Amino acid sequence: MSDFTRADVCAVAIAETFRGDGEILASPIGILPMIGVRLAKLTFEPDLLMTDGVASLLGSVPPVGVAATEAVVEGWMPYRLVFDVVWSGRRHVMMGATQIDRYGNQNIACIGPFERPKAQLLGMRGAPGNTINHPTSYWVPNHGPKSFVPKVDVVSGVGYDRAAALGARAARFHSIRRVVSNLGVFDFETPDHRMRLVSVHPGTTVEQVVANTGFELSIPASVPETRTPTGEELRLIREVIDPKSLRLQEVKA
Amino acid sequence: MDKRTTIREAVAGLRDGMTIGIGGWGSRRKPMALVREMLRSPLKDLTIVSYGGPDVGLLCAAGKVRKVVYGFVSLDSIPLEPHFRAARQNGTIEAVELDEGMLQWGLYAASLRLPFLPTRAGLGSDVLKVNPHLRLVKSPYDDGEELVAVPAIPLDVALIHMNRADARGNGQFLGPDPFFDDLFCMAARRRIMTCEKIVATEELLREGSVHTLKINRMMTDAVIETPRGAHFTECPPDYGRDEAFQKEYAASAAEPEAWKAFKARYLELGSEDEYQKAVAAR
């Protein structure tokens, strides 16, 4: 089973961002994040907690995009309890980012000036509270100079430069783990927490990533390829987690 | 005490310039029958506080709104609310955009009669920049930590929609999430509750456990039975979201002519009853 798609590679890369998290609430926003968290849960991270996207904690791993009528429910998690979990820190969220910059500042609020935006987006949602309280990762399915920008128009999710300005104590729960895009995997493991290229997906080059990024990335001398899915992971993705192939709507084959 | 009334009477008690909190979440269990009655009224200059959905969009489109206090405005299955976007992009409303948890804290502070509640949420983000009225507070204890002091968000009126209620004003949610409806009520001076069905008090536990009785009668002033009153938002287990109607709503917002036709067909009617008939006749 070597005929994997780019979407399958992204699912594995997303699953990897949750490795080692243990018994916390994993909150994936978007189709590929939902697939990746399920994959982590079914393989190396079985203790993760996950909701059905409404108010139930799932005790089983139902496929994405299918009404979870057969799913086992192991708990109740309405929004106000989610907020409690956010502020208690026992959570790792993977959000989207309309814009993200080199320090991991994220914008989902609006494009253009806040006072009169060119495009109003979702709003701040939970991004400010998430990023200052618990680990956050990002999923960007359309990596390009308009999404990876030198400066975000509005800071919804707090990046490392903003966190540093707050001081070590105020920012002690701040952690941007990883950014996964349709081109590669990124982290902030550099002296001043600038974004670093961790790996490029098979079929992508470092040059391609650089050309599609609107700021200077930290690039190690040698950049590996993103881990490819194992046969068992491919089986889980195709047969158990995403039998309707919704992942191909978010990342084209 | 019998708190039953009509949506017409309830909305007639609202005034221009009021701060009105609307329960529900996104396109879920919104008191839409009350919102539609507001559209039929001459009300204006309102401040709307909401985990926003089509309630915010419709009121903005009708020119009723001066200011919106929100964490997001979304139709859930359609991520962006078209009329709210237009209002923001045309600069016709003032925006107080908060973190979702900060909005909860503001309502909770108001309901506890506290001036503010502290939180870490907002630190380092542009929530503080775009809301210059927000201030920080320093912990008086040895840690000395600086936190955001979320100011209380007191409401003149709260509007909520529940699955069941009794005539005395006890309310019951039968779906998976109570959202923050109790906080909206506790933060408000006047509290108006619509419901799918008014039942006798002794029947309240017939369909749900005691835990579903989230709204007690100290938290409400008026009760109105409005079957399908949350339409087109979802109100489980009574009904799901009317996705086809929501699509029609969102699509019509893109074209002035289409929006005019949508309004004529569904909104510029004499009553909630006529709206429900127009929806059923599709």
B125 touches chain A (CB under 8 A): yes
Q: Is the residue at B184 inside a domain?
A: yes
Q: What is the DSSP string of chain B?
A: ---B--HHHHHHT--TT-EEEE-SBTTBS--HHHHHHHHHS---SEEEEEEESHHHHHHHHTT-EEEEEEEEE--SSSSS-HHHHHHHHTT-SEEEE--HHHHHHHHHHHHTT-SEEEESTTTTSTHHHH-TT-EEEE-SSTT--EEEEEEP--EEEEEEEEEEE-TTS-EE--SS--TTHHHHHHTEEEEEEEEEEE--GGGGGGTS-GGG--B-GGG-SEEEE-TTTTTTSBBTTTB---HHHHHHHHHHTT-HHHHHHHIIIIISSS-HHHHHHHHHT-
Instruction: Please report which helix (H) or strand (E) contains residue A13, including its range.
Output: helix A6-17
Q: Is the residue at B257 inside a domain?
A: no
Residue A125: CB atoms within 10 Å: 21
Query: Do B96 and B184 sit in the same domain of this protein?
Result: yes
Instruction: Please report which helix (H) or strand (E) contains residue A12, including its range.
Output: helix A6-17
B171 touches chain A (CB under 8 A): no
Q: Is the residue at A252 inside a domain?
A: no
Domain span at B146:
117-151
- Chain A nearest-CA distance from B7, in A, is 29
Whole-number percent of chain A with pLDDT over 70: 98
Instruction: Please report which helix (H) or strand (E) contains residue A91, including its range.
Output: strand A91-96
- Give residue-wise pLDDT tens across range A93-139: 999 999 999 999 999 999 999 999 999 999 999 999 999 999 999 99
Residue type, A80: R
Contact state of B176 with A55 under an 8 Å Cβ cutoff: yes
Contact state of A110 with B88 under an 8 Å Cβ cutoff: yes
B73 touches chain A (CB under 8 A): yes
Q: Is the residue at A46 inside a domain?
A: yes
Q: What is the CATH number of the domain that holds A27?
A: 3.40.1080.10
A110 touches chain B (CB under 8 A): yes
Query: Do B182 and B141 sit in the same domain of this protein?
Result: no
Which residue carries 């016709």 as its tokens?
A: B92
Q: Is the residue at B255 inside a domain?
A: no
In this predicted structure, what is the pLDDT of residue A67?
A: 76
Q: Is the residue at B194 inside a domain?
A: yes
Alpha-carbon distance of B70 to B49, in angstroms, equals: 6
Contacts of A115 in chain B (CB under 8 A): 91
Take residue B140 and report the two structure tokens written for it.
Answer: 């008086």
A30 touches chain B (CB under 8 A): no
Contacts of B130 in chain A (CB under 8 A): 114, 154
Query: What strands lie across the sheet with B116-119, from one edge to the other?
Result: B116-119, B146-151, B135-138
Take residue A244 and report the two structure tokens written for it.
Answer: 């309707």
ipTM value for the complex: 0.95
- Chain A nearest-CA distance from B84, in A, is 8
Query: H-type helices in A104-227, by residue range?
Result: 127-133, 160-166, 206-211
Q: Is the residue at A62 inside a domain?
A: yes
Query: Do B97 and B134 sit in the same domain of this protein?
Result: no
Burial class (CB in 10 A: 0-12, 13-18, 19+), B263: middle
Q: Is the residue at A45 inside a domain?
A: yes
Contacts of A120 in chain B (CB under 8 A): 80, 84-85, 88-89
In this predicted structure, what is the pLDDT of residue A1?
A: 46
Decide if A117 contacts A174 (C-beta within 8 A).
no
Alpha-carbon distance of A142 to A46, in angstroms, equals: 30
- Give residue-wise pLDDT tens across range B220-237: 999 999 999 999 999 999
Domain span at A172:
6-245
Take residue A116 and report the two structure tokens written for it.
Answer: 């009169």
Contact state of A129 with B85 under an 8 Å Cβ cutoff: no
B247 touches chain A (CB under 8 A): no
Query: Do B36 and B144 sit in the same domain of this protein?
Result: no
- Chain B nearest-CA distance from A81, in A, is 10
Strand A110-111 and strand A106-107: the pairing is unpaired
Among candidates B99, B104, B119 on the partner chain, residue whose Cβ is nearest the Cβ of A124: B99
Helix (H, G, I), strand (E, B) or coil at A92: strand
Domain count of chain A? 1
Q: What is the CATH number of the domain that holds B171?
A: 3.40.1080.10
In terms of Cα–Cα distance, which of A43, A34, A71 is closest to A234?
A43
Domain count of chain B? 2
- Give residue-wise pLDDT tens across range A144-168: 999 999 999 999 999 999 999 999 9
Decide if A131 contacts A155 (C-beta within 8 A).
no
Give mean pLDDT in consecutive 10-residue pieces for chain B, a chain of 282 residues. 97 98 98 98 98 98 98 96 98 98 98 98 98 98 96 98 98 98 98 98 98 98 98 98 98 96 97 98 94
Residue type, B52: G
Take residue A153 and report the two structure tokens written for it.
Answer: 């128009």
Burial class (CB in 10 A: 0-12, 13-18, 19+), A107: buried
Contact state of B80 with A86 under an 8 Å Cβ cutoff: no
Share the mean pLDDT of chain A.
96
Q: Is the residue at B225 inside a domain?
A: yes
- Give residue-wise pLDDT tens across range A222-246: 999 999 999 999 999 999 999 999 9
Q: Is the residue at A251 inside a domain?
A: no
Q: Which residue of chain B comes nearest to A154, CA vs CA?
A: B126
Alpha-carbon distance of A50 to A25, in angstroms, equals: 6
Q: Is the residue at A145 inside a domain?
A: yes
Would you say residue A253 has pLDDT above 70? Answer: no
Query: Do B33 and B122 sit in the same domain of this protein?
Result: no
Among candidates A119, A123, A133 on the partner chain, residue whose Cβ is nearest the Cβ of B71: A123
Tell me what the mean pLDDT of segment A180-188 comes to. Answer: 98
The model's pTM is 0.97
Q: How far is CA A238 from CA A4, A13, A161, in A?
A: 10, 16, 40
Query: Do B31 and B131 sit in the same domain of this protein?
Result: no
Decide if A220 contacts A190 (C-beta within 8 A).
no
Q: Which of B51, B90, B177, B179 to mutate to test the interface with A (most CBs of A within 10 A)?
A: B177
Take residue A232 and report the two structure tokens written for it.
Answer: 């068992």
Q: Is the residue at A1 inside a domain?
A: no
What contacts A180, CB < 8 A, 6 or more positions away?
Answer: A10, A13, A14, A17, A32, A36, A94, A137, A138, A139, A140, A186
- Give residue-wise pLDDT tens across range A9-46: 999 999 999 999 999 999 999 999 999 999 999 999 99
Whole-number percent of chain A with pLDDT over 90: 95
B265 touches chain A (CB under 8 A): no
Would you say residue A70 has pLDDT above 90? Answer: no
Query: Do B136 and B84 sit in the same domain of this protein?
Result: no
Query: Do B157 and B145 sit in the same domain of this protein?
Result: no
Would you say residue A2 has pLDDT above 70? Answer: no
Alpha-carbon distance of B215 to B4, in angstroms, equals: 15
In terms of Cα–Cα distance, which of A236, A233, A240, A252 is closest to A66?
A240
For chain B, give the number of residues. 282
In terms of Cα–Cα distance, which of A66, A94, A90 is closest to A10?
A94
Take residue B54 and report the two structure tokens written for it.
Answer: 């089509």
In terms of Cα–Cα distance, which of A193, A95, A169, A173 is closest to A133?
A173
DSSP type of residue A63: P
Q: Is the residue at B234 inside a domain?
A: yes
Take residue B170 and report the two structure tokens written for it.
Answer: 């006890």
Strand B188-198 and strand B155-165: the pairing is parallel
A151 touches chain B (CB under 8 A): no
- Chain B nearest-CA distance from A187, in A, is 20
Query: Do B145 and B222 sit in the same domain of this protein?
Result: no
Which residue carries 């895009």 as its tokens?
A: A181
Take residue B183 and report the two structure tokens written for it.
Answer: 């906080």
Q: Is the residue at A163 inside a domain?
A: yes
Contacts of B70 in chain A (CB under 8 A): 123
Contact state of B145 with A117 under an 8 Å Cβ cutoff: no
Q: Is the residue at B144 inside a domain?
A: yes
